[in-house]
Structure 1
């Protein structure tokens, strides 16, 4: 968020607004949780929690009100923030239209029909991987596949915690990798890299972890009772929009064109198959926009606050402290990983963690010549690791809640944690990539032009 032309003086006190934001977020969740409120960390929206931090920034930073307001608005209107917000709403529209037309149900039923029942736990993991990769939402994946997973566990006399662990692990796989996930959008825009390039760097870490997890579930997730699945009707044509978005984004097509085309394609197919009408198509586009309002607003407010903090030396102070620890690329990447883990543990929101840590990671990237594709990959991977294991995160809370709602023996979030093998393996491979360097992009990064070197 820094201009890059005027070097600001390091000032640790300038970080107080960000610290206040995290403390308000954390304290609100802890207090509500102590009172027995369900989904305690998500009862007060993040944009509301950041308001005290913005007020503090206006009070403590020097300058006139007009000057401070101009700085705040300049940060809100930063090019990367606006691009990020526009991608959010298009991704929301695509996900909503595709789901309403029946795409998610078709993907789930298609996958279930292809998987032998003796490997159903591994199948739940695989289905969750594909759904989350296609839709970009771990919470949405858990909500869609969760009832099936609980039913399968009951019918097959399987450990419910084991099956839920497979479900959550698969959901975090796509949350980390999907080109339309809000974490991917935030990570790529804050580091100024292409989605396809971040995907290529990330897949080298996530895929080995997913493969090993899948193999483990093949052996330990076999049902001991008979599993009879209900009607598994599906329409392959409804799966096409997801495949189109995934393939075209990875092929390098402009992300706005990818998502706009995906929305139109989903609408045309939905109308042709009877899942949508012209009216409901239009309504679902707006519903998708509305569903992204919270993260849209939070990104803008955080962008404004981040710019003010940066202009007053907060980011520079934090980077200097990290610089005193980091001596090379490896230790700099470890710093990014640790910063992301701590921030996500405090906020219980991986997108928020990336938005907060993104500007710092970008400065670390410049100082220590960390490839921005790597910093984006590390931000996303480690935020998803922490988000996927904290028992007060939305993903595990919703998954555990489903067991109670669907009449099964209730499983607590803590009981699920020992079965979150994918998240553990993802952390292991991400750390290994720092010291062994097997996930580095093949081409070098031009730090002066802030783009890959032209061969």
Structure 2
């Protein structure tokens, strides 16, 4: 089969997902307008997505066994399992570290050293540095969000705003890091070097980060904390956070790092009398159960996404966008729109890139879009969408760590970095300021055409 072959899509396959969004978001919006507290928690998201799954089982063709196998395949997809394990470990680390006094110590030390007017900028930079170094937004959020939660409590700054800042910094690195799953997927599917993708990507990501920090400086609000106040802290209780941050930056496996952080926090808590041999495992379990909502949503959404994919829902999106492409600029817009819509449908940026990578490669070859550009567009707009989805892993993790204190639509309007990154990314299509590398080292299209001819045949 040739890569250029267009498979038939099925618009109806998107209906179960639309029903899920309509129930969850519709109920939340209506209740929020009525002034109901925790409006987006009144109709549990796992139940809303489960309704979509039931409709999918009723609508889609095949035997019950075939549909169940498809659902379970999506449920157990590797990236879904990774996210769910991170949820549990992040919840355990956050709860245990808080119980032994680690959060208070870290926050008080930060308030003692960082001028309060720079706290939000500091959190953005720390999140960005860790995510660039580790390549994972989820691991970064698991490490930094509990600290940010403490800063919000002590300074009186808006909790949704603080969490939006941390998510923004985390997505900065998720997009830019050369060891990120999304970078690996984008460069591999487009057949380009990570180094070249990074050199183009940085011209778009760095300006977005600088503009974000300028806005944070002027519009973060006035913290209530007074810099001259004395804050008590224990350096020993800060060790688990330093351990997690240090080994995360060194590229340690996120599961090993978070598990080690839980154990270290427990040992320190027991030594200082904040925990016992019984309360330590109880706090771990409390952390696990605090993540049950996001855990279930990720699992069930993964199953629903696979059912929609097999029924032709994602292919319908691909076909619809491909029909509107007729020039190099519209090709780049098409690649950006394709990856963003796909990610909105399956809430997994890495898998979205893997699905759309071959399609983007064909589009870039047909309309002479430099594949280094297509790799950048795939990564940028997958991360922009992923970091702003109300049912995406990043916002769900933050909602879990804050135990429902913030809702998705409190956070989304404050995601300045993602919005600015999207605007600059689109601007770069029409104003090629990020293409200095492309101008200096033009792509060999004759060689590319030969490669594609071999692949297609």
**Scaled by the length of structure 1, what TM-score is found?**
0.67
Judged with a 3 Å threshold, the aligned counterparts in structure 2 of structure 1 residues 186 and 319 are, in CA distance, closer, same or farther, namely same
Judged with a 3 Å threshold, the aligned counterparts in structure 2 of structure 1 residues 251 and 356 are, in CA distance, closer, same or farther, namely closer
How far did 1:95 drift? 2.1
**Of residues 146, 156, 162 in structure 1, which corresponds to 2:152?**
146
Which residue number corresponds to residue 16 of structure 2? 17
Q: Does the CA-based 8 Å contact 2:149-2:159 persist in structure 1?
A: no
Q: Does the CA-based 8 Å contact 1:10-1:317 persist in structure 2?
A: yes
How far did 1:296 drift? 1.4
Q: Which runs of 5+ in 2 are unaligned?
A: 131-139, 189-193, 362-370, 391-395, 438-457
Inter-partner Cα distance in structure 2 for 1:313 and 1:222: 47
Which residue number corresponds to residue 282 of structure 1? 281
1:379 aligns with 2:375: no
Inter-partner Cα distance in structure 1 for 2:120 and 2:64: 55
Q: Deviations over 1:252-285 (max 9, x none)?
A: 3322222222222222233334433222221121
**Of residues 342, 367, 376 in structure 1, which corresponds to 2:359?**
367
1:335 aligns with 2:327: no
Judged with a 3 Å threshold, the aligned counterparts in structure 2 of structure 1 residues 227 and 307 are, in CA distance, closer, same or farther, namely closer
Which residue number corresponds to residue 451 of structure 2? none
**Scaled by the length of structure 2, what TM-score is found?**
0.67
Judged with a 3 Å threshold, the aligned counterparts in structure 2 of structure 1 residues 98 and 303 are, in CA distance, closer, same or farther, namely same
Judged with a 3 Å threshold, the aligned counterparts in structure 2 of structure 1 residues 360 and 170 are, in CA distance, closer, same or farther, namely closer
How far did 1:364 drift? 1.9
Which residue number corresponds to residue 165 of structure 2? 170
Which residue number corresponds to residue 39 of structure 1? 38
Inter-partner Cα distance in structure 1 for 2:375 and 2:126: 26
How far did 1:61 drift? 1.1
Inter-partner Cα distance in structure 2 for 1:91 and 1:224: 27
How far did 1:169 drift? 4.9
How far did 1:436 drift? 4.7
Q: Does the CA-based 8 Å contact 1:385-1:426 persist in structure 2?
A: no
Inter-partner Cα distance in structure 1 for 2:278 and 2:186: 39
Judged with a 3 Å threshold, the aligned counterparts in structure 2 of structure 1 residues 45 and 381 are, in CA distance, closer, same or farther, namely same
Q: Does the CA-based 8 Å contact 2:23-2:48 persist in structure 1?
A: yes
Q: Does the CA-based 8 Å contact 1:191-1:372 persist in structure 2?
A: yes
Q: Which runs of 5+ in 1 are unaligned?
A: 152-162, 344-352, 388-392, 403-412, 441-455
Q: Does the CA-based 8 Å contact 2:20-2:48 persist in structure 1?
A: yes
Judged with a 3 Å threshold, the aligned counterparts in structure 2 of structure 1 residues 231 and 294 are, in CA distance, closer, same or farther, namely same
How far did 1:108 drift? 1.6
SS of corresponding position for 2:43: coil
How far did 1:74 drift? 2.3
Which residue number corresponds to residue 122 of structure 2? 126
Which residue number corresponds to residue 450 of structure 1? none
How far did 1:115 drift? 2.7
Inter-partner Cα distance in structure 2 for 1:373 and 1:269: 44
Which residue number corresponds to residue 154 of structure 1? none
How far did 1:58 drift? 1.0
Judged with a 3 Å threshold, the aligned counterparts in structure 2 of structure 1 residues 360 and 253 are, in CA distance, closer, same or farther, namely closer
Inter-partner Cα distance in structure 1 for 2:355 and 2:223: 53
Which residue number corresponds to residue 272 of structure 1? 271
How far did 1:368 drift? 0.9
Q: Does the CA-based 8 Å contact 2:112-2:230 persist in structure 1?
A: no
SS of corresponding position for 1:275: coil
How far did 1:301 drift? 0.9
Judged with a 3 Å threshold, the aligned counterparts in structure 2 of structure 1 residues 205 and 190 are, in CA distance, closer, same or farther, namely same
Inter-partner Cα distance in structure 2 for 1:286 and 1:256: 17
Q: Deviations over 1:310-344 (max 9, x none)?
A: 11111111122233345667324521575389x5x
Judged with a 3 Å threshold, the aligned counterparts in structure 2 of structure 1 residues 385 and 320 are, in CA distance, closer, same or farther, namely same
Which residue number corresponds to residue 299 of structure 1? 298
How far did 1:306 drift? 1.3
Inter-partner Cα distance in structure 1 for 2:236 and 2:223: 35
How far did 1:149 drift? 2.6
SS of corresponding position for 1:232: coil
Aligned counterparts, 1:1-80, within 5 A: 9-80=8-79
How far did 1:232 drift? 0.9
Q: Deviations over 1:375-423 (max 9, x none)?
A: 4553333444577xxxxx9999x99x99xxxxxxxxxx79x97x87656
Inter-partner Cα distance in structure 1 for 2:333 and 2:97: 42
Q: Does the CA-based 8 Å contact 1:13-1:314 persist in structure 2?
A: yes
Inter-partner Cα distance in structure 1 for 2:226 and 2:79: 49
Inter-partner Cα distance in structure 2 for 1:275 and 1:131: 29
Inter-partner Cα distance in structure 2 for 1:171 and 1:286: 25
Inter-partner Cα distance in structure 2 for 1:300 and 1:222: 37
Inter-partner Cα distance in structure 2 for 1:219 and 1:177: 21
Q: Does the CA-based 8 Å contact 1:105-1:234 persist in structure 2?
A: yes
